[in-house]
Amino acid sequence: MQSASLDSLFTPALLLDRARMLANIERMRAQAARFPHVRLRPHLKTNKCIPVARMVAGEDDPITVSTLQEAERFHQAGYRDILYAVGIAPAKLPRVAALIRAGAQMTIILDSLATAEAVAEFAGREELAVPTLIEIDTDGHRGGLSPDDPLIVEIGRRLGPNLVGVLTHAGGSYDARTHEEIRRYARMERDGIVAAATMLRDAGLTCKIVSMGSTPTALFAESLDGVTELRAGVYVFQDLVMAGVSACTVDEIAISVLTSVIGHKPERGWLLVDAGWMAMSRDRGTQNQAMDMGFGLVCDRYGTPIGDLVISSANQEHGIITSRSGQPIDPDRFPIGTRLRILPNHACATAAQFPAYNVIADGLVVARWERFSHW
């Protein structure tokens, strides 16, 4: 497409700053290169977009997904080594099998004996190997088994030849506030997943893959001894939650929502814009951080934050902008129709509200890249 002005876009619109995205990608590659024995397996759930994926990972590179539709779409685009990093529901195994038979090297995860039995039974009946990782919980964040749970070995034995290793995700690192806290989570994540791998090997079981990662711990890990692969995803775009945990700075956030001023409420200190929670999502991931960014941080049309303005509340199609300090907003600074950009709390959730990225470079829209949703 020919370059176009931001004024040519119908609002709200999702923007992707190409230069920032490429810098974020290069930063993670440089970090991963410090550990030559570890392969980077980028998570593509944030972008769900073939053109972005091409910049993040080549077709011969391993990738991570969070839905089977992502696995199917990225496989159609040429990717073969795919990890579906959400606990498998047995009813989804036929879709996994279809991908394997179509040439994908599909790996799944689980954390229960019942699911392991379902996988083993399905694989035997279908005469098909279904590579499986046991999910380990290294920080009490969500699913997975404790690294010292003897059930790990029992599950491994039940999986038999389908067992290929262990996996963990340090989601607890999202509670960090400093680089040192992130490094502590990274150490805990590495120590826990290596301990689980050692337990399997000591029992005489296969553990070829030892997989860990989250954007904060991947960026700040100091040692990955015993780990074979590193996963991360939101680093490609970054967001306000990542800025709040000090994994990035605000000016490294690559996506934003272009919005228009549609009203003023000077007696209440409000600006009204056409980006409500249907545009920004309902994710309030910064509300427990040191600085609550509401539904998003307000920037001018060039992406520079405007004082302490945030979307403090949102209806379906209305965003209400206020000042965190309570200072009045001069409506004359923001006439009706003024274009603003809102940085998101959670890149995955905000991007999911839109069908495409409007790619910007040097302040102009230079491309439109379709994205997909659903499961």
Query: CATH number for the domain including 150?
Result: 3.20.20.10
The answer, yes or no, to whether residue 141 has pLDDT greater than 90, is no
CATH number, residue 358: 2.40.37.20
Residue 26 lies in a domain: no
- Residues 94 and 130 sit within 8 Å (Cβ to Cβ): no
**What is the pLDDT averaged over residues 4-26?**
97
The pLDDT of residue 1 is 80
Sole residue written with tokens 């690192």: 173
Residue 141 lies in a domain: yes
- Residues 295 and 277 sit within 8 Å (Cβ to Cβ): yes
What are the strands, taking DSSP E only, across 33-129? Answer: 39-42, 63-65, 81-87, 105-110
What torsion, rounded to 10 degrees, do the Cα atoms 29, 31, 34, 37 define?
-60
CA 308/CA 314 separation, integer angstroms: 17
Name which of 352, 355, 361 is nearest 1 in CA terms.
361
Residue 243 lies in a domain: no
Same domain membership, residue 176 and residue 43: yes
Residue 348 lies in domain? 6-13+254-370
Residue 30 lies in a domain: no
Which residue type sits at 308? D
Residue 21 lies in a domain: no
CA 358/CA 116 separation, integer angstroms: 43
Name which of 307, 286, 296, 291 is nearest 342 in CA terms.
296
Same domain membership, residue 139 and residue 63: yes
Which residue type sits at 231? R
CA 326/CA 169 separation, integer angstroms: 39
Asked which of 194, 210, 237 is the last residue of a domain, the reply is 237
- DSSP letters of 306-369? EEEEEEEEE-SS-EEEEETT-PPP-GGGS-TT-EEEEE-S-HHHHHTT-SEEEEEETTEEEEEE
Same domain membership, residue 209 and residue 282: no
**What is the pLDDT averaged over residues 98-116?**
98
Asked which of 208, 237, 266 is the last residue of a domain, the reply is 237
Could you tell me how many residues make up the chain?
Answer: 375
The answer, yes or no, to whether residue 77 has pLDDT greater than 90, is yes
Which residue type sits at 349? A
Same domain membership, residue 204 and residue 90: yes
Same domain membership, residue 261 and residue 205: no
| Domains contained in the chain, number | 2
Residue 282 lies in a domain: yes
- For residue range 251-302, what is the model confidence (pLDDT) as tens digits? 999 999 999 999 999 999 999 999 999 999 999 999 999 999 999 999 999 9
**What is the pLDDT averaged over residues 317-345?**
96
Residue 179 lies in a domain: yes
The pLDDT of residue 255 is 98
The pLDDT of residue 20 is 98
The pTM of the full predicted model, rounded to 2 decimals, is 0.96
Residue 1 lies in a domain: no
- For residue range 158-209, what is the model confidence (pLDDT) as tens digits? 999 999 999 999 989 999 999 999 999 999 999 999 999 999 999 999 999 9
The answer, yes or no, to whether residue 142 has pLDDT greater than 90, is no
DSSP 301: T
- Residues 68 and 375 sit within 8 Å (Cβ to Cβ): yes
Same domain membership, residue 231 and residue 264: no
Same domain membership, residue 208 and residue 98: yes
Same domain membership, residue 271 and residue 171: no
The answer, yes or no, to whether residue 82 has pLDDT greater than 90, is yes
Same domain membership, residue 355 and residue 210: no
The kind and range of the H/E element at 137 are none
> C-alpha angle with apex 63: 57 to 66, nearest 5 degrees?
130
Same domain membership, residue 308 and residue 222: no
Residue 212: phi and psi, rounded to 5, are -140, 165
CA 101/CA 353 separation, integer angstroms: 33
What residues pair up with 322 in beta bridges, in sequence order? 310
Same domain membership, residue 259 and residue 220: no
Same domain membership, residue 169 and residue 88: yes
Asked which of 237, 262, 281 is the last residue of a domain, the reply is 237
